[in-house]
Amino acid sequence: MADGTHMYDLLLAGGTVVDGTGQARRRADVAIRQGRIVAVGDLAGAQAACTQDVSELIVAPGFIDSHAHDDWAVLDTPDMLPKISQGVTTVVNGNCGISLAPLRAEGPQVPPLNLLGHGYRFGSFAQYRAAIEEAPPAVNVAALVGHCTLRVLRMADVKRTASQDEIAAMRQDVEQALHEGALGVSTGTFYPPAAAATEAEVIAVCEPLTRLGGIYATHMRDEGDRVMEAIEESLRIGAALNVPIVISHHKVVGKQNHGRSVETLARLRDAARAQAVCLDCYPYDASSTILQPERVEICDRIMITWSEPHPQASGRYLEDLAREWSCSRREAAERLLPAGAVYFIMDDGDVRRILSHPDTMIGSDGLCGEGRPHPRLWGTFPRVLGHYGRKLGLFSLEEAVFRMTGLTAMRMGLRDRGRIAPGCHADLAIFDADTIIDNATFDTPAEKATGMRHVYVAGVATWQDGAATGARPGRYITDRIGATRS
């Protein structure tokens, strides 16, 4: 029965709990009060203001999107349908060196900052955090501060190495962001605004992480021919800072590199013996980012997701446009800029191998503002459960859930999240294990998944009986494990 003299706010009765630790599933009731889980077990006879029958369903921790770009979406489209419909309750924003804060700017931004839209109106992380707290979305938000954003803020010319004064200014920005609630720092030396940044610059700018705590997440300098060199650089930066490293959306791109995940994962496995390093991955063999003409030749197919000068090109393939325009694919790409694209550039064997790596978290890397988004925006988590888990048998349901919840919370240092246990936040995803599957495709990317029945954030339903409730109980997360700041 209910503990103490008070009834529970919500009782989830008769479900099968997969608790986010990787341990075997078990039949158990879950009781919630004031946004927290207060009891898990046989609670027959307990009193509750609301009882939800979840028999025949899996009760799991809400999924944590370890690699999101929802920085502006959580404010612009706070219902967050692409995420809640697949069981996501928390998003980690500010990845790939791109964060909305601290940058106040009018008009469109340089690539890849333009991937976040026109929301650059926050001169500090405190302002960004306050905006979310004043108008909460349907999901919880954690955020990194982006090195690309800092370079655009502090440097008139980002095509060169930063001066000592510019490094000092960026370092101060990092320190302030950490004090104001940033989870850590992300870099994107793959992208033009940070390509000229040296390893020494990154270490110097990120120095406050060593003192104040936080993670270092990196979209590495290269994921193709020089992927091993990029991994070594990332490991050196993490070691110099003595902080946990996240290798963002790990992959190996280009036909000549297919299969090299054997090599990259062996190195990361070896490195993990000496330093804290993990990675995230999305369950698709195509990537998506800004259109870069110099990448055209290493891809068989490229689909345009958006183009400012040619909006009608959204959803079209570059080779078809080039044929219509009687030009080369590279010339067509240059004509489309600024634009975004899906690159069919990876091998599913590598995707499976990376997903199977014991330190791989799941992150969507989805972009809400794209005209024709990559299907990962709507389908990532059900695809892991239904396609790679149930259909292909890549891992058990318990392991799949762990990679989306407990592992992510542990690696990101998110306190009392990612597990079903007394004291944890009542962020929950409840689904049918036999039917859960993604429906989003490259042709129809905005299709909600099948099988996600109910989703709760802090004990409040955001998705009920397969439909959005309109509730927005999300919060900005600041209670991070391991932080030394107040």
List, for residues 21-70, the tens digit of each pLDDT value.
Answer: 999 999 999 999 999 999 999 999 999 999 999 999 999 999 999 999 99
**Which pLDDT score is estimated for 351?**
98
Q: Is the pLDDT of residue 1 over 50?
A: no
Q: What is the pLDDT of residues 426-435, one digit of tens each?
A: 999 999 999 9
Percent of residues, the chain, with pLDDT higher than 90? 93
Tokens 């240092």 correspond to 413
For residue 297, the model assigns a pLDDT of: 86
**pLDDT exceeding 70 applies to what percent of the chain?**
97
Residue 184 has pLDDT above 50, yes or no: yes
The average confidence (pLDDT) of the chain is 95
Q: What is the DSSP letter of 90?
A: E
**Alpha-carbon distance 175 to 212, whole Å?**
8
Note if the bond before 338 is cis, omega within 30 degrees.
yes
- Report how far residue 58's alpha carbon sits from residue 61's, in angstroms, rounded to the nearest whole number: 10
DSSP alpha helix (H) spans, 180-214: 192-195, 199-205, 208-212
**Annotated domain spans of the chain:** 62-292+341-415, 293-340
pLDDT at 107: 78
Burial bucket for residue 202 (CB in 10 Å: 0-12, 13-18, 19+): buried
What is the residue type of 354?
A: I
Give me the sign of the Cα torsion angle 182, 140, 385, 423. positive
Q: How far apart are CA 168 and CA 460, in angstroms?
A: 44
Give the single-character DSSP code of 292.
-
- Does domain 293-340 sit in CATH 3.40.50.970? no
Confidence (pLDDT) at 118:
84
Tens digits of residue pLDDT in 87-112: 999 999 999 999 999 999 987 789 99
> pLDDT-based confidence at 2, cuts 50/70/90?
very low
Q: What is the pLDDT of residue 147?
A: 98
Domain 62-292+341-415 has what CATH class?
alpha beta
- Cα separation of 88 and 63, whole Å? 4
Q: At 344, which amino acid appears?
A: F
Q: Contact, 382 vs 451, CB < 8 A?
A: yes
pLDDT tens digit sequence for 298-312: 888 999 999 999 999
In the three-class reduction of DSSP (H, G, I as helix; E, B as strand; rest coil), residue 129 is classed as helix
139 has a pLDDT exceeding 70: yes
**197-214, pLDDT tens digit by residue?**
999 999 999 999 999 999
Neighbours of 60 (CB within 10 A): 32
Per-residue pLDDT, 186: 98
41, 29 contact by CB (below 8 A): yes
Residue 453 and residue 85 in contact, taking contact as beta carbons nearer than 8 Å: no
pLDDT tens per residue across span 427-465: 999 999 999 999 999 999 999 999 999 999 999 999 999
C-alpha span between 10 and 428 (Å, rounded): 12
Average confidence (pLDDT) over 313-324: 96
Q: How far apart are CA 88 and CA 176, in angstroms?
A: 29
pLDDT at 159 > cutoff 60: yes
State the Cα–Cα distance between residues 355 and 353, nearest whole angstrom: 6
Cβ neighbourhood burial of 306 (10 Å; 0-12, 13-18, 19+):
buried
pLDDT exceeds 70 at position 485: no
Q: Residue range 172-183: average pLDDT?
A: 97
Give the integer Cα–Cα distance in Å for 234 and 231: 5
What pLDDT does 235 receive?
98
483, pLDDT greater than 80: no
Confidence category of residue 372, pLDDT binned at 50, 70, 90: confident
* Sheet bearing 140-143, strands edge to edge: 63-65, 88-93, 140-143
Q: In whole angstroms, give the CA distance from residue 452 to residue 450.
A: 6
Q: Give the H/E segment covering residue 387.
A: none
CA 30 to chain centre: 27
* Residue 4 confidence (pLDDT) above 60: no
What per-residue string of b and e applies to 275-303 under the rule 16 or more CB within 10 Å gives b?
Answer: ebbbbbbbbbbbbbbbbbbebbeebeebb
CB burial readout 133-154, b (16+ within 10 A) else e: eeebbbbbbbbbbbbbbbbbbb
Distance (Å, rounded) from C-alpha 473 to C-alpha 485? 26
At residue 27, the pLDDT reads 98
Q: What is the pLDDT of residue 481?
A: 67
Taking only the tens place, the pLDDT of each residue in 395-410 is 999 999 999 999 999 9
Using pLDDT thresholds of 50, 70 and 90, give the confidence band for residue 252.
very high
pLDDT above 90: residue 135: yes
Distances (CA, A) of 447 to 56, 319, 377, 382: 25, 26, 10, 12
Half-sphere exposure of residue 338: CA atoms within 13 angstroms, side-chain side: 12
Tokens representing 182? 């940033």
Q: 5: pLDDT confidence band, cut at 50, 70 and 90? A: very low
Q: What's residue 117's pLDDT?
A: 87
**CA gap 268, 275 in Å, rounded:** 10
